[in-house]
Amino acid sequence: VNAETTRHIEAISVEVVDTTAAGDTFAGALAVSLASGRTMPDALLFASSAAALACTRLGAQPSVPTLREVLEVAGEHQCGKKCR
């Protein structure tokens, strides 16, 4: 993803309980992922995984997943070793 290229990253389907904090979780996970040196596609998948998990829980702060949980979901969705 850059000025010349775009890429579609599909959302991860989950049973939604509450969307509170999903956007904040996505933004935070994307920032951490990029700061860790991941490529934009891998960082987007990581952030999407984090936001999807947040949607499965009630509330704001309690809905933010742990790194281990995000890595597990991201790994299930083709992120592979780049996310670990």
Active-site residue numbers?
24
Note the helical H segments in the chain: 22-35, 40-54, 67-76
Buried b (16+ CB within 10 A) or exposed e, 27-64: eebbebbbeeebeeebbbbbbbbbbbbbbebeeeeebb
